[in-house]
Structure 1
Amino acid sequence: MIAHTPETAEIARNAKAWPFEEARKLEKRLGGKLPEKGYVLFETGYGPSGLPHIGTFGEVARTTMVRRAFEMLTGMPTRLFAFSDDMDGLRKVPDNVPNRDLLAQHLNEPLTKVPDPFGTHESFGHHNNARLRAFLDAFGFEYEFQSATDWYTSGRFDDALIRVLEEYDRIMEVMLPTLGEERQQTYSPFLPISPRTGHVLQVPILERNASKGTVVFEDTDGEKVEVPVTGGHCKLQWKPDWAMRWYALGVDYEMAGKDLIPSVDLGGKITRILGGNPPAGFNYELFLDENGQKISKSRGNGLTIDEWLTYASPESLALYMFQKPRAAKRLYFDVIPKAVDEYLTFLEKYRGEGSDRQVENPVWHIHEGTPPEETSPISFNMLLNLVSASNSQDREILWGFISAYVPGASPASHPLLDRLVGYAIKYFEDFVRPTKFYRPPTAAERAALEDLRGTLQGFAEGAAAEDIQNAVFEVGKRHGFENLREWFGCLYETLLGQTSGPRMGSFVALYGLGRTVGLIDAALHRDADAGAA
């Protein structure tokens, strides 16, 4: 729990970062008072018919950021429920699982009754729940896992389910206008579970008895069956289920994607009908692929979380989730280096900031108020360029460059930097190397490069990066590059084989004057037919 004192509360009350805005909104909803249940409840929901994904990470990370801001603001105890809707029926067989024929034999059964196609757990639902918990644990999230099956079958939802039955007509008045004409004819908030087949049925409810707490429906064999709505004999459709959960658990805060705004509004109406108060929360924007199209799990466009974590740290992903959550953002491989370096920049700034500025810094929110002390003396983009220029994926060779640039640095003394070296090697191999193309210099560029070669030979090894940078500028000016971007573009394209690159003074200081002269020699000897990497 984040420390709460009068001083920190005052900082939280004035902070502009969006998690603090959300925290103040939640405090207002509560009237500044601790709920009767004795804690403030945050919730995230999860459908375990598939595996956890990058959106799952984003929702839990962002909710945690609001939770910590709220604790600093109010000092109230909080809990976070990661709720799995694992009693839902299996409606289709996922594409990315083994033994699909096995699953096809258990369609419409609750996920916690469907056999595990992986053969490791008692059911498909249990398997995916375990994956969810392992996923969240890997990132160090503090949460309490909750299973819909446990809540329904244990009777803990019974009182709320009776309330849904008592308010059946009012709930139907809210739900029916949102449905198509054909669906209206058969819709019911309750999904009875067939005593004969165990299937979660989407069938009309023929009779209701609120005093007995039962419903009557026609089973798949045509027989009329009466079952209690309690004790796990029925499940609710997902929208009434979401609202019932808000009411039964007393959820105080839950966020959702922009695409669920109508469902959030609907859930709020049903929660009020049941006698509850809908949670506070906000709607975040969805991610787009590199072409600006909405990311879809079924289409596979956009990044998966495993792909991001192959090339960059979880902290960089958390930063991407923190920044502008209400703006649509493209989520593809090219955003990774920038996200890593922005994280490093914020981390470097943090220690020199006052407490009122630190809470505005994203790393405060990423690390729940206690960012690590270690920073990196070299940016991720610079490491990418080092790997590129040296054509080496050998960590020892790369650390040779690094230790010459940062005396005394080693993987042991700079573990964060060592992790970045590993990420840079992987990113270069998969995304930079395939696109490298060294173009030969023009006649005018050749003269400038020859001048630069002689200028760099006039420096002693260990020269300051700023002095080298100034010299590179002067060479460009001497050779008539009115727009110095063209000069640096020439250097990137002829020396590094790419269209963008690092601050040249820093790069030369890291890579070495002699080796940079070697790059210039290679460019000067390159003919028009020899440009590929």
Structure 2
Amino acid sequence: MANEVAGEPRPDTLKAAALESKAWPYEEARKLLKRYDKGAPAKGHVLFETGYGPSGLPHIGTFNEVLRTTMVRQAYAAMSDVPTRLIAFSDDMDGLRKVPDNVPNAAMLAEHLGRPLTKIPDPFGCHESFAHHNNAMLRAFLDRYGFDYEFLSATDCYGSGRFDEALKAVLRHYDAIMGVMLPTLRKERQATYSPVLPISPKSGIVLQVPVEVVDAEAGLIRFDDGGETVTQSILGGAAKLQWKVDWAMRWVALGVDYEMAGKDLIDSVTVSSKIARVLGARPPEGFNYEMFLDEKGEKISKSKGNGLSLDQWLTYGPQESLAFYIYREPKKAKSLHMGVIPRAIDDYWQFRGAWAAQELPQRLGNPVHHIHDGAVPAETLPVTFGLLLNLVGVLGEASADQVWGYLANYVPDAAPERYPALDRLVGHALAFHRDFVAPTLVRRKPTAAEAAALRDLDAGLAALPDGDTAEDAQTLVYEIGKAHFGKEALRDWFRALYETLLGTSQGPRMGSFIALYGVENSRRLIAETLAA
């Protein structure tokens, strides 16, 4: 039944299998086992972190990092009894460098360029600041998905003094940090670079100016602020760090053990790791994943708003399908657009259907094991999402109740309460068809040869016996195709069926579609096509 979960292995059996599994979350988790091979760290837990810059609206790339990190955390928990924590960190003290393309009140935001994101008014008018708005969006989505995490704000950590000791360490090792950073910068940038970004007491802007360390233990620096020499503390939120130095300082101050990052940040990870060592700490474990691309092959950007939003995916597909798409091949660049959703849904259900019968090593390599943390629901899906889309495509404007009426042709016990996951997919199919499929459907006229084959198919359907029609109809479709097109050209026959009956270039297994849509309805569809 729907909420039943397949039996789980004993913890010792799972641990032994996980230690040998080649699934990437287990491979990543074993880095942490090696990191603390003598037991728990002094702080008593292993700390995972994900970072987010709230200069734009959260997107799937942000969610991707939290999900993948959570999967590594779950994998580690299967192999170790050491407690874990996950921090979702918002770099919301960063100065706004450019106005995002996908937010309202751009002119107002432009007036606040350079100020910390938590000091800029919310262009949407519903939160304390722009950063508070974006942070709330991120947390709402992470909460909706059910992630176990703790949210931390850079503004809170700097302002409360939580980072003060680490900031003093940055000043104590100022020259060594400059020695790491300067070789990575262009010559003109080297002349003005400082790891410390004081916040102007006059304008409130995060300044990018050279600084002089006055007293490391007191946290004092000296800098020029619009022609005036200012001596000011960097403690208590009066300054922040350049982000590569900030990243390293954060690892040290919080005791971060694991953080992954996109492939575009490989050099940044290397530099920040060197700085963490300068500060006397071991940098975290992690790996670099490939980036998501939009339909044009361009990198998804939160400031551009290209690619899919979180809400868009969840309008047209369930959460599990998004998690499935994110899990697979993390080191391979993947397109992220509306067209990938149907395939992700069906692939998820194919892997889910196979999970229960698999041996434990195969289960641990199955994406659904990591999506559901080993507690994979037992509900099955009697039809594919692709087939649902084809049904809805033929029905046109239909209600969920009408779709369920047709499902009864194919699934004897079809009912929303018995198949709640299928019921949710019906809603997704109706939405996807309405917004993306319907505008593209164009049924063409059959050629003379195709029309002759369709008339034979109609006659064959009329002669089918009552009962289970899917296999009978599929056999009939094959036989007519071979008779009219030859065995070698069956692909032409199927394409003709899809283009003339369904209005698409690709389609479902026709026997299954005929059984789902109903023999009489399928014959009526053929008649309409022949009469067109």
TM-score range relative to shorter protein: over 0.9
The residue identity in structure 1 corresponding to 2:17 is I
In structure 1, list runs of 5 or more residues that go unmatched: 527-533
**Counterpart for residue 148 of structure 2:** 142
**Counterpart for residue 451 of structure 2:** 446
Q: How does 1:22-101 map to 2 (within 5 A)?
A: 22-31=28-37, 33-101=39-107
Identity between Structure 1 and Structure 2 (%):
59
The 8 Å contact of residues 351 and 368 in structure 2, kept in 1 or not, is answered as yes
Structure 2 residue 133 is the aligned partner of structure 1 residue 132: no
State the 1:51 CA deviation: 1.7
Q: Secondary structure at the match of 2:339?
A: helix
The residue identity in structure 1 corresponding to 2:445 is P
The 8 Å contact of residues 209 and 215 in structure 1, kept in 2 or not, is answered as yes
| 1:57-78 deviation per Cα after TM superposition (whole angstroms, max 9, x unaligned) | 1111111011100110112211
**Counterpart for residue 377 of structure 2:** 372
- Farther off after superposition, 364-373 or 294-303: 294-303
Distance 2:104 2:90 in 1: 22
The residue identity in structure 2 corresponding to 1:399 is W
**Counterpart for residue 4 of structure 2:** none
**Counterpart for residue 295 of structure 1:** 300
Pick aligned residue for 2:408 from 393, 403, 407? 403
Distance 1:432 1:122 in 2: 40
Distance 2:471 2:240 in 1: 67
Distance 1:6 1:373 in 2: 23
State the 1:32 CA deviation: 5.1
Pick aligned residue for 2:505 from 494, 499, 508? 499
| 1:240-282 deviation per Cα after TM superposition (whole angstroms, max 9, x unaligned) | 0001111111111101111011100111110111111111111
**Counterpart for residue 12 of structure 2:** 6
The 8 Å contact of residues 102 and 305 in structure 2, kept in 1 or not, is answered as no
Structure 2 residue 319 is the aligned partner of structure 1 residue 314: yes
**Counterpart for residue 189 of structure 1:** 195
Pick aligned residue for 1:163 from 169, 174, 183? 169
**Counterpart for residue 151 of structure 1:** 157
TM-score by length of 2: 0.94
Structure 2 residue 417 is the aligned partner of structure 1 residue 412: yes
**Counterpart for residue 5 of structure 2:** none
- Which fold has the larger relative contact order, with Cα–Cα distance below 8 Å and residues 6 or more apart in sequence? 2
The 8 Å contact of residues 53 and 304 in structure 1, kept in 2 or not, is answered as yes
Distance 1:269 1:361 in 2: 36
Q: 1:3 to 1:267 in 2, by over 3 A?
A: farther
Distance 1:328 1:228 in 2: 44
TM-score by length of 1: 0.94
Q: Secondary structure at the match of 1:483?
A: helix
The residue identity in structure 2 corresponding to 1:314 is Q
Q: How does 1:92-111 map to 2 (within 5 A)?
A: 92-111=98-117
State the 1:209 CA deviation: 2.5
| 1:392-445 deviation per Cα after TM superposition (whole angstroms, max 9, x unaligned) | 422111110112321232122221111111111111122222221222222222
Q: Secondary structure at the match of 2:115?
A: coil
**Counterpart for residue 252 of structure 1:** 257
Distance 2:249 2:57 in 1: 25
Q: How does 1:111-130 map to 2 (within 5 A)?
A: 111-130=117-136
State the 1:519 CA deviation: 1.6
Distance 2:10 2:218 in 1: 49
| 1:206-255 deviation per Cα after TM superposition (whole angstroms, max 9, x unaligned) | 343224331111122x2221122222222101110001111111111101
Q: How does 1:150-299 map to 2 (within 5 A)?
A: 150-220=156-226, 222-299=227-304
**Counterpart for residue 3 of structure 2:** none
The 8 Å contact of residues 171 and 216 in structure 2, kept in 1 or not, is answered as yes
Distance 1:211 1:297 in 2: 39
The residue identity in structure 1 corresponding to 2:404 is W
Distance 2:398 2:38 in 1: 56
State the 1:350 CA deviation: 1.8
Q: Secondary structure at the match of 1:87?
A: coil
The 8 Å contact of residues 152 and 231 in structure 1, kept in 2 or not, is answered as yes
Q: 1:97 to 1:289 in 2, by over 3 A?
A: closer
Q: Secondary structure at the match of 2:325?
A: helix
Distance 1:212 1:312 in 2: 54
In structure 2, list runs of 5 or more residues that go unmatched: 1-7
Q: Secondary structure at the match of 2:119?
A: coil
Q: 1:389 to 1:405 in 2, by over 3 A?
A: same
- Farther off after superposition, 375-384 or 401-410: 401-410
**Counterpart for residue 343 of structure 1:** 348
Q: 1:211 to 1:300 in 2, by over 3 A?
A: closer
The 8 Å contact of residues 59 and 308 in structure 2, kept in 1 or not, is answered as no
| 1:22-81 deviation per Cα after TM superposition (whole angstroms, max 9, x unaligned) | 111222223352111111000000111222111111111111011100110112211000
State the 1:298 CA deviation: 4.3
Distance 1:511 1:56 in 2: 41
The 8 Å contact of residues 317 and 428 in structure 2, kept in 1 or not, is answered as yes
The residue identity in structure 2 corresponding to 1:173 is G
The 8 Å contact of residues 4 and 73 in structure 1, kept in 2 or not, is answered as no
Q: Secondary structure at the match of 1:146?
A: strand
The residue identity in structure 2 corresponding to 1:332 is H
State the 1:20 CA deviation: 0.8
- Farther off after superposition, 491-500 or 88-97: 88-97
The 8 Å contact of residues 461 and 512 in structure 1, kept in 2 or not, is answered as no
Counting matched residue pairs gives 524
Pick aligned residue for 1:521 from 511, 522, 527? 527
Q: 1:211 to 1:480 in 2, by over 3 A?
A: closer
**Counterpart for residue 426 of structure 1:** 431
The 8 Å contact of residues 469 and 515 in structure 2, kept in 1 or not, is answered as yes
The 8 Å contact of residues 462 and 509 in structure 1, kept in 2 or not, is answered as no
Q: Secondary structure at the match of 1:376?
A: coil
Q: 1:85 to 1:69 in 2, by over 3 A?
A: same
Give structure 1 regions of 4+ aligned residues with deviation exceeding 4 angstroms: none
Q: Secondary structure at the match of 1:108?
A: coil
The 8 Å contact of residues 171 and 213 in structure 2, kept in 1 or not, is answered as no
Q: 1:231 to 1:354 in 2, by over 3 A?
A: same
- Farther off after superposition, 342-351 or 353-362: 353-362
The 8 Å contact of residues 252 and 278 in structure 1, kept in 2 or not, is answered as yes
The 8 Å contact of residues 52 and 135 in structure 1, kept in 2 or not, is answered as no
